[in-house]
Amino acid sequence: MKTPVCVLRLPRGPDGTSRGFDPSSARYQALCPSTISASGPVDCVDLRSEQRARSFLRERYLRSLIAMVKRDVKFTMYEKVKVDAVFAGSDIDILNFQVEDLETPLGVQKEALIRCPDVICYSFEIDSNL
């Protein structure tokens, strides 16, 4: 296990106070829609089937996140950045991933937050218990 480096701090953002995770910043608002709107003409039956589809899909996604916890995950990010880390958790809007032992060219970060808009894809392996 590589020795962790001391905590790196991002430079302050343009507003002078935040370090890139401020939910009230203009960048954040632009990147992340705060509400999920339902489809156009709201027909009762259509809404029900849309909601059913939403919960079906969301439950499966949450289960995939649960399966990822404590596993090694490879994150492919923009600017040809590829890093390995141990997944710890996500926030509800899938905007930030909490990871441990993030391997960066500067060393291993014991705990880190990865911004999801910076990620292109992530991958991991599990046993298929078949």
Which spans of this chain sit near other proteins (rule: CB under 8 A)? 31, 33, 36, 39, 49-50, 53-54, 56-58, 60-61, 63-64, 66-68, 76, 78, 92-94, 116-117, 119-130
Q: Distance (Å, rounded) from C-alpha 96 to C-alpha 99?
A: 10
In the complex with other proteins, the residue whose CB is nearer, 66 or 106, is 66
Specify the residue, 8 or 76, whose C-beta has the smaller distance to other proteins. 76
- The answer for residues whose C-beta is within 8 angstroms of residue 27's C-beta and 6 or more apart is 13
How many Cα atoms are found within 13 Å in the side-chain-facing hemisphere of 111? Answer: 3
Judged by CB, which is closer to other proteins: 108, or 124?
Answer: 124
- Which residue carries 């509800």 as its tokens? 92
